[in-house]
Structure 1
Amino acid sequence: MQHINLRQIEAFKAVIETGTISRAAQLMGISQPGMSKAIAHLEEDTQLQLFDRSKGRLAPTEQGMRLYREVEQIFAGVRQVENAVEVIRREEKGQLSIGVMPALSGDFVQRATTNFLASRPHVFCSVETLGSQWTVDRIASRKLDIGLIDSGLEHPYLITEPIMVHPIVCIMPLGSPLAEKRVITPSDLEGVPFLAPDPARIFGHQIQRMFQEHDVRPKNVLAANALQTMCGFVAEGLGVSLVHPLVISGMRDRVIVRRFEPEILFHFVMCRSADNRNAMLVEEFATHVRALAAEASLATSEMV
């Protein structure tokens, strides 16, 4: 067997993942004949038949797929090294990377980050708005330092800390007949145009289950996975909804807010890696998050 080179392996991986020589060549920025030659040389050097050829198409053989699984492990290791390099650079330069769920991506994370930078003006911050599961995954792989997420997600290598626990509220357009009530109950929403939180998320599932338990069927007119988006639709008169009071902090003049019973608690959580080498900056940012969360909790308790 001849020695194989990295370029041949990259070409082989590209063909497997794209499915054709032409797409693989485009991905790697080489000519199609060059890609075909690289694959032919790899088969010659390894003395393995990696692809079946039929009418100009390539299909990986069993030997080809076995080799691909080995190659994937190698490239996964390379990605881990790349992540480690990024972590080291971030630590050396004084950088903090923050992941935040959409519900906290507005005023809350802006104020927390601004307060942090006031005390650490030479630190570079990056803020990514992601779903909670994506944030957890990126912290676990060291692509983020700290995350603000909703509850219900666990990871063995992450530390989680509750930062805010509030009961949800009912919001409605200005002039809604429901505004005459001080407290909204499930039966009040029977047949009422309703904007539903995404049922695939924990909060949306809680709302769906609550309606089922009370045998109430609101008139679902829209579902959204971003609570701020849903608040905007409510303000435009599309219907009523149930949300965390924090997400309507900038919309008090556009919607009516009422207490909802039975009480359904909504949890926000801060999470980080248990062995984060950027621990000092992470803890300083966490201190600002806690202070702002305490302030927000006081404000939301006075909201309804």
Structure 2
Amino acid sequence: MRLKPRQLEAFRHVMLTRGVTAASEAMNIAQPAVSRLIRDLESEVGMTLFTRQGGRLLPTPEAVLLLAEVERLYIGIDQVARAADDIRQHLNVVLRMASVTSLVRPFLHRAMMEVVGPRLDLPLVLDVENSRHIWDMVEQSHYDLGLVFGPPRQGDLQTVHLHSSTAVAAMPPDHPLAEKDVITPTDLLDCRVLTAGRNSPLRRGLDRAFSQAEQAPLNTLETSMLNCCHFAAAGMGVAIVDRITMRAADVKLCAKPFLPTIDVSYYAARPAGSRQILVLDQIVERIKELLDEDTVIAS
């Protein structure tokens, strides 16, 4: 048995309108064409679906039962159509994002408030993770957007450069090293160095700087860059971080350039081949603007 969608459509319209004329108007075809589709359907299913009485079509009990099944089909088609509309308008589609801690406050927080605002039709998931995990998850398309610490990975990921700067040595304003113009590894020999985890690009740059120095600090405390700032403000040591992280920490610190220079960059990453999603593009653009504005203010 090979039923054709057009036959089922004609049958459904005739059942719902109780006439060939109305069905032909709904389908935008001639009345004889509707009648032929009904006859072909009856031949295919091997049942009489309508009887004529006084010029009217009366459905048989078999037609009533068949209509219930056809309606299930059309409910499914309607659901697919609604889902397509939702996808096109990004309604009821969960957008999954992840960010490194230093970009959440105030940059991502403010961008989401301004872009998403009071919208209740846009389910969101926001995870706060380290850059390595976010890169991995974006590559596997588990995140629609990742805000990460550079450098960017090789491959087909869609990346947008957000901001670049260099590492600084952060300490309380009354720290003895606060009087120096720049800080080098030698200056830190008698200090506890607060440093990012070993998977951080900044930490790898710091390790290279220490390995090239004649003497390197031995007393270190390894934690997140945000925690480095908080420990530094509490007098636990000198943090080697970037100004964006200092801004996120929002504690009273004095920042001095660190030499040799360690480049620090942030990127927005999306899966390879992913479709354009306007709200994510707007969030990324707003974060970039806020980072640029913050840099101007800080300078």
State the TM-score, normalizing by the size of structure 1.
Answer: 0.63
Cα distance, 1:121 vs structure 2: 6.0
- For 1:102 and 1:121, the matched residues in 2 are separated by 25
Tell which structure's C-alpha radius of gyration is larger.
2
Q: What's the offset of the Cα at 1:253?
A: 5.2
Q: How far does the alpha carbon of each residue in 1:79-100 deviate from its partner, in whole angstroms, 9 at most, with x for none?
A: xxxxxxxx96994415432110
Give the RMSD, CA atoms, in angstroms.
2.6
Partner of 2:170: 171
Q: In the alignment, is the contact (CA less than 8 A) between 1:172 and 1:239 conserved in 2?
A: yes
Work out the CA distance in 2 between the residues paired with 1:148 and 1:107. Answer: 14
Give yes or no for the alignment of 1:192 onto 2:191.
Answer: yes
1:160 maps to amino acid: T
What pairs up with 1:144-159 in 2 under 5 angstroms? 144-154=143-153, 156-159=155-158
* 1:242 pairs with one of 223, 228, 240: 240
Counterpart AA for 1:109: L
Which letter does structure 2 place at the counterpart of 1:298?
V
Matches within 5 A, 1:88-99: 91-99=90-98
1:96-130 deviation line (CA, Å, top 9, x unaligned): 32110122233222112112213856423221111
- What is the DSSP-based 3-state SS (H/G/I as helix, E as strand, rest coil) of the residue aligned with 1:282? helix
Q: Which moved more, 1:238-247 or 1:100-109?
A: 100-109
Q: Is the 8 A contact 1:191 1:217 kept in 2?
A: no
What is the rounded CA distance, in whole Å, between the counterparts of 2:292 and 2:115 in structure 1?
Answer: 16
In 1: Cα distance, 2:99 partner to 2:89 partner: 19
Q: Offset of 1:216 from its aligned partner?
A: 2.8
Name the residue aligned to 1:107.
106
Shift of 1:169: 1.1
Aligned-pair CA distance for 1:155: 5.1
Displacement of 1:200 after TM fit?
A: 3.1
Change (3 A) 1:171 1:92: same
Aligned residue type for 2:181 = R
Aligned to 1:208: 207
CA contact (8 A) 1:158 1:274 kept: yes
Check 1:103–1:252 CA distance in 2 against 1; reply closer, same or farther (3 A cut). Answer: closer
* Contact 1:189–1:216 under 8 Å retained in 2: no
Q: Give the direction of change, closer, same or farther, for the CA distance of 1:186–1:231 in structure 2 (3 Å limit).
A: same
Residue 153 of structure 1, CA deviation: 4.4
The one-letter amino acid of 2:131's match is: S
- Say how many residue pairs are matched: 214
The one-letter code matched in structure 2 to 1:264 is: I
1:125 matched residue in structure 2: 124
Which amino acid is 2:257 matched to? Answer: R
Identity across matched positions, percent: 23
2:281 to 277, 280, 283: 283
Contact 2:102–2:248 (8 Å) recurs in 1? no
The reply on whether 1:295 has 2:293 as its aligned counterpart is yes
**TM-score, structure 2 length as denominator?**
0.64
Amino acid at match of 2:103: L
- CA pair 95-89 structure 1, distance change in 2 beyond 3 A: farther
Deviations 1:5-45 (CA, angstroms, capped at 9, x unpaired): xxxxxxxxxxxxxxxxxxxxxxxxxxxxxxxxxxxxxxxxx
Residues 164 and 297 in structure 1, CA contact (< 8 A), matched pair in contact too: no
Letter in structure 1 aligned against 2:265: H
CA contact 1:91–1:277 (8 Å) conserved in 2: no
1:231 Cα shift?
Answer: 0.8
Q: 5+ unaligned residues in a row in structure 2: which ranges?
A: 1-85
1:148 Cα deviation from its structure 2 partner: 0.6
Contact 2:115 / 2:279 at 8 angstroms: preserved in 1? no
C-alpha contact 2:193 2:237 (8 A) present in aligned 1: yes
- The answer on 1:265 being equivalent to 2:253 is no
Structure 1 spans left out of the alignment, 5+ residues: 1-86
Partner of 2:272: 274
Give yes or no for contact 1:163–1:268 (8 Å, CA) kept in 2: yes
**Deviation (angstroms), 1:242:** 1.0
- 2:140 aligns to what? 141
Contact 1:193 1:240 in 2 (8 A): yes
Moved more, 142-151 or 154-163: 154-163
